[in-house]
Structure 1
Amino acid sequence: MTPSPRPTASRTDDATQRLHDLHVALRTKLTEQPISLYAAAVLRIGYGLLYFAFLLREFGHRDEIWGPGSPWTPELATQLFDQTGWFSFLTLSDSRAYFEFCYASALVISALFALGWRTRAVSVLFAAVVACFHARAIYMADGGDNLMLLMAVYLCFTACGRRWSLDARRARLGVPSESAVQLPSRSSATEIRSQLGSARRILVTTLHNCGMFVIAVQVCLLYASTGLYKVQGETWANGTALHYVLNLDLFRPWPALSHMADGYPMMLVAVGYLTVLLQVAFPFTQFGRFKYPVLAVLLGMHIGIAILLGLPLFSGAMIVADAVFLPDRFYTFLARTCRRAFQRARSAGPGAPSPAEASLVPAQSGPVG
């Protein structure tokens, strides 16, 4: 007696149900659960402070780079904008007072963006500031400027002000916003307002999740393309690329330090091969715990680039971008650890009583008259 085959209808129903459950789970994850809120806050704080420090560092050279006294005059920049389609508010006037006002405004906007004050609107202003300053001196930009411009645009679509920000503090203290004020109205108007609020939450969550996904993909493409480009180079293949880089005057802020590092050729060969390997494999290492040692090695690599090659802006932009791959539980654990360490250091300070002295102090029963 031959066994009866399993009905194909039941298998089709099971597959359909699994696809439906997967679709519901993905839709819920995309539209109802904002991901990586702490990572978005780290990106906001990192890029805001980084650009603020960059503007402060170039404060003494601001006129030669972006101002009316720049060799790349506003007229030349405007001619280039006609060809490329870029725009910069710095070229709207040749007035010295106007330029100083724009520079001061850029500093204020960068600081407010890092602090997370009215983040939704300030993020758009920050992206406009980065784009306009980048376009004004586009021939002086490097990879760090390009990455910061992309991240500033992406962060406009994220909810990067919900954690570690003045907006989050205001919400935690219960300060009502304009959208939270309930006005007396008829039930139909209340229902419409509730539906609009629900649609707004879904839209904000979807944009945030898509923005964080695009940022992660951008960083993966950046590492992978850089690694594949290096593989094609002969100097990276034979391990002499770092030797030549360390002997370029343009990338020798401290010649003695570069000369000392160049004295270990085998170490430079190993570091060069490891750099190419990690960059090519980076997108494939972000799906497990192996990403933590990879990110730690890349952190050391970027610190070395900042010190040895004199590229702090590029290294800082890459270090902040790598923060998108760390989960929120890592940042909450780090925050708790820092808070406990601060409390222990405060309790062990010179003004704090010792445990023996604290046991002799009677408890206060009521308010002091």
Structure 2
Amino acid sequence: MGNEQIPQPASTPATQHRPTTQETSVAGTAHRWLLDRIGDLWALLTDRPISLYAASVLRIGYGLLYLIFLLREFPHRDEIWGPGSPWTPALAEQLFDQTGWNSILLLSDSRAYFELCYVTALVTSALFMLGWRTRVVSVLFAVVVTSFHARSIFMTDGGDNLTLLMALYLVLTACGRRWSLDARRDRLKAARAGNAPEPVRSLYAQQLHDARTTLITVVHNCGILVIAAQVCFLYGSAGLYKIQGPTWGGGTALHYALNLELFQPWPALSHLVDEYPMVIAIAGYLTVLLQVAFPFVLFGKLKYPVLTVLLGMHIGIAVLLGLPLFSGAMIIADAVFLPDRFYAFLPRLWRRAARLTGMWRPAPGRAAEFGSVPSQDRPGVPGSKHRAAACTEGHHAATGLASEQS
């Protein structure tokens, strides 16, 4: 009994680490920073629809581009998509079994049905460009582009690939809020309503309305972000692919492209440009550099000169290589990176230039310089009426000032 040892409590190992006050503070700061970034992202997606003017430019651009494309190929429509195409419906069905695509053009082999589909495509493209009932017409436009693209996928160039993607993405966006017949109809409806009080909704109806507005805003913003990501991936992958080739590294890629008979709409012009090898080499290196760096310059003012150079590059591709559809699709896609204040400034710039040349004079009682970005507040949000009233007062003040100066 006397030799028994009393068990001692286990001591804490000396190597066990206890977080210090400084480490706890750093961890808390990182946690708060992460929560702030998540909050900023959530506010970006749900606060208000972004890039409404850019979405409208994409709608107008791709609607007009596809309308011109269909009109240009009107004499050859039967050989490309119709019953007389060498890519027969049987071959298209075999490809669909492998790819999972489909086309409304294959629902019937009647020529009358094909002509009806072609006229429908022309009308749909025009209505989409004008922004008439955009919610429904955008879906029809996506179906039209997908059907014509899938019917004869090997009969057209690569420009319609991007047009197809953008047609699908634009279904998600509120691309009819600006510069459209829908926007004009909403303005006229608001003008007729005047200062009439809004109808009182029940609590359930108001909650349902707010949820619908938030859902539309989130889907639109996600669509815009997907479009921007698509263009970034396109430029980045194209630049990285060019780096792997010896012709782009040696500065001779454009030389070989200019001497391909398939891409010589004006051979004399191509041969004239080819006589300046140093300029061709610099243009090739600059093209690769801009495409690789494009995703990294979008968050600063450097994107404006980059977009300007890319605009010139696409115009050169359209003229020298005879790819207007591809160049047009790329130029329109680049418009998503320009802010709304840029598009809101364009009408003012046009009126100022027209006034200096004597082509335009402001109507009596109309502000000459009023052209700010319209309010994007959602109905039902507290404070939106006060902001709308402030904007109205500012407009009346600007109108009065313009009248006094005139």
Same fold (TM over 0.5): yes
Paired position in structure 1 for 2:71: 56
Q: Give the corresponding residue for 1:130.
A: 145
Show the counterpart of 2:216.
204
Aligned match of 1:324:
336
Q: CA deviation at 1:84?
A: 1.5
Q: Name the CA shift for 1:251/1:173 in 2 (closer, same or farther; >3 Å).
A: same
- For 1:257, the equivalent position in structure 2 comes to 269
Letter in 2 for 1:238: G
1:179-236: CA deviation from partner (whole Å, max 9, x where unpaired): xx9889xx7xx22221111111111110111111111111011001001111111111
Question: How far off is 1:169 after superposition?
Answer: 0.8
- One of 145, 151, 158 as aligned partner of 2:173: 158
The correspondence of residues 140-159 of structure 1 with structure 2, limited to 5 A, is 140-159=155-174
Could you say what secondary structure the match of 1:138 adopts? coil
Structure 2 portions without partners, runs of 5+ = 1-19, 362-406
Name the CA shift for 1:70/1:10 in 2 (closer, same or farther; >3 Å). Answer: closer
User: Equivalent residue for 2:308?
Assistant: 296
From 81, 88, 109, the counterpart of 2:124: 109
Higher helix proportion? 1
Corresponding position of 2:15: none
Residue of structure 2 in register with 1:358 after alignment? none
Counterpart-to-counterpart distance in 1, 2:31 and 2:148: 53
| Farther-moved stretch of structure 1 (255-264 vs 14-23) | 14-23
CA contact (8 A) 2:105 2:148 kept: yes
Number of residues of Structure 1 aligned to a counterpart in Structure 2? 338
Residues 289 and 7 of structure 1: is their aligned pair in 2 closer, same or farther, counting only changes over 3 Å?
A: closer
Matches within 5 A, 1:156-195: 156-174=171-189, 190-195=202-207
Deviation at 1:26, TM superposition (A): 2.5
Deviations 1:46-102 (A, max 9, x none): 000000000000011001000111111122212221221110111111111111110
Partner of 2:400: none
CA displacement at 1:9 relative to structure 2: 6.7
Q: 1:85 aligns with which of 94, 97, 100?
A: 100
Identity %: 68
CA change 1:304–1:10 in 2 (3 A) is: closer
Ranges in structure 1 where 5+ consecutive residues have no aligned partner: 349-369
Structure number with bigger Rg? 2
> Deviation at 1:24?
3.1
Once the two structures are superposed, residues 230-260 of structure 1 have per-residue CA deviations (whole angstroms, 9 ceiling, x without a partner) of 1111111111111111111110111111110
- SS of the residue corresponding to residue 50 of structure 1 reads helix
Is residue 2:52 matched to residue 1:37? Answer: yes
**Per-residue deviation, residues 108-130 of structure 1 (Å, max 9, x unmatched):** 00011011111111111101100
Structure 2 distance, partners of 1:198, 1:224, is: 39
Q: Which has the higher contact order (CA 8 A, sep 6+)?
A: 1
- Structure 1 CA distance for aligned equivalents of residues 23 and 33 of structure 2: 15
TM-score under structure 1 normalisation? Answer: 0.86
8 Å CA contact retained: 2:351, 2:360: no
* Separation of aligned partners in 2, 1:17 and 1:138: 51
